[in-house]
Structure 1
């Protein structure tokens, strides 16, 4: 017979403290390894959603063209012919609507389009205007009219899910801008945006405008697919832009050029680079200067989807994607005012590049390192006087021009 020693310890059924700490450490390591993968998966989903938005815009543009045999206009709309100073009126939009307005009924935004095209008397705060004083058809000026419901309504099709921008000072943001090509204005073809006529009777302006503005869109004229002689598959129609977060990001706030001379930016696309913060080159430093203007809203990238000021809804294929944006405008740094120059490239919150919408409706992703030629100082930017030249901005510039008879090497795209 055997006897059990009651002093002998019983078998333990739990974990020791060391074992528990080891398990916690292993779980922590696994979470650390999996979290970047989860974040990458979320960004991949947002990037796909952004691409789908672009496809919807592409279908809208093509359906618009099928209906009217032309593309939606850039800087078109209505003008009362009397407003002065320009930019702030309840009576018309002063020829400053973006192409995104015209395609509203073709992207399942019929309700918003009805509010734009038909006079209404309701304000964004719920109040009612006088019965005999409704908003005009096609709306008032986009700038400074936060009471007009359509201009402050944000269409989700016009927003990239990766862009966190929301609220004041912007309203009705957009992440998609029209391609204005590899040139940014010319003295002979530039228009005065508050002019009381549409300038179509000025044949000199029409000729120089067609020559100097080489993108799929340009001000006051509605182009068509037949104007795209380089081929729709070889020409960018729309591109991504980031919206401003108020942090002096070089991609969302335009600095004034750092080199003297009225045409400094025209001759040197890098002329604002001296204003970047050397320790944080993604942002402007203390040496950068900015033009001020009443309201300030129009001075930030992508702040108003309905506005056709270049900083709101246009981009140039001069500097590579996600480069700094720059202007030499003296009356407000949005570009397109009198003889002002502005160089606004594409940008996005995606890692490494931007989405672009080609003329045939295809959506492609362009790397920040796309071949973009030589942007160093020199008289290189195409204008009405040398419009037939090959784009000096490489593949990126060639894809932005609609009729320069260039055949891009898509293997580098």
Structure 2
């Protein structure tokens, strides 16, 4: 406030100086830098929780299927090699209408195969646009500790219609599994049921289908796509040491920092650390090795 030449009081508003403006901008920038990681962490925490909830629902559907048929669903059903265990449990995920379209066949089946099922998608899984037509999934059935095609499926979910036997190279016939049979061997709390198989492989690009990052889908079984997972290859990696390392194509992986989410045969959902001992990881995948798992 000051006096004008006429004696009147004049109020003048003073703006920020350049230095003051720079100080304010620096403070705001610092606050943003401090808050952004916290916001990102909160968002990832919410996505991880949603992923675990998806797996919880899938595990419950598997148990309901088992209670109904006294068997766990096979990797691929008797209707068609393309119909996986994820198709079989649709009625137990409030998706009976979608399942009915698979049963009807023809145009209805073709339309059903184009549908994305939200419970089969992890919100952290960055699915490339080229994969959408499959449609993609973020989860895979746990078939054991060895490559799906070449072993007796020592995991919880197996190919007991034996589609892969003979022509595709499996040397043994696989028998059905159930929650009871898993419990009688290694125990349901020590055996994987379903885990993440995210689209994160930076050097995976299947030229035949145009898929990128992975070949994971919910309704189609090997060899047309991957709906099965194992611990046969590199666990939770971003880049394959060999782009044609087929074992690692089907090995569990996730976009969540630090680990991969699984639902076990007892219905519990756990995050398995990337650094887990390889022997313990294989024991968790194998339903019948008789080995003590210990802490994990």
**Structure 2 stretches of 5 or more lacking a match?**
162-174
Map 1:7-156 onto structure 2 (within 5 A).
Answer: 12-17=12-17, 18-78=19-79, 93=80, 95-119=81-105, 121=107, 139=109, 148-156=110-118
Map 1:6-405 onto structure 2 (within 5 A).
Answer: 6=5, 12-17=12-17, 18-78=19-79, 93=80, 95-119=81-105, 121=107, 139=109, 148-169=110-131, 170-184=133-147, 212-219=152-159, 220=161, 221-228=175-182, 229-243=185-199, 249-250=202-203, 252=204, 295-296=208-209, 301-309=214-222, 312-319=226-233, 321-323=235-237, 344-372=250-278, 394-405=279-290
Between the two proteins, the alignment pairs up a number of residues equal to 273
2:148–2:228 Cα contact (<8 Å) kept: no
Q: SS of the counterpart of 1:66? A: helix
Q: Distance in 2 between matches of 1:226 and 1:325?
A: 37
**Structure 1 stretches of 5 or more lacking a match?**
79-92, 123-138, 140-147, 191-208, 254-289, 336-340, 373-393
* 1:327–1:404 CA distance, 2 compared to 1 (3 A): farther
Measure how far apart 1:76 and its partner are: 2.0
1:151–1:304 Cα contact (<8 Å) kept: no
Q: Distance in 1 between matches of 2:195 and 2:124?
A: 15
Q: Distance in 2 between matches of 1:20 and 1:12?
A: 19
What's the Cα RMSD here? Answer: 3.0
* 1:309–1:62 CA distance, 2 compared to 1 (3 A): same
Q: Deviations over 1:321-356 (max 9, x none)?
A: 31356899xxxx796xxxxx7762111111111101
Measure how far apart 1:309 and its partner are: 1.3
Q: Distance in 2 between matches of 1:24 and 1:327?
A: 48
Q: Which structure's residues are more often helix, by fraction?
A: 2
- What TM-score, normalized by structure 1, do the two folds share? 0.59
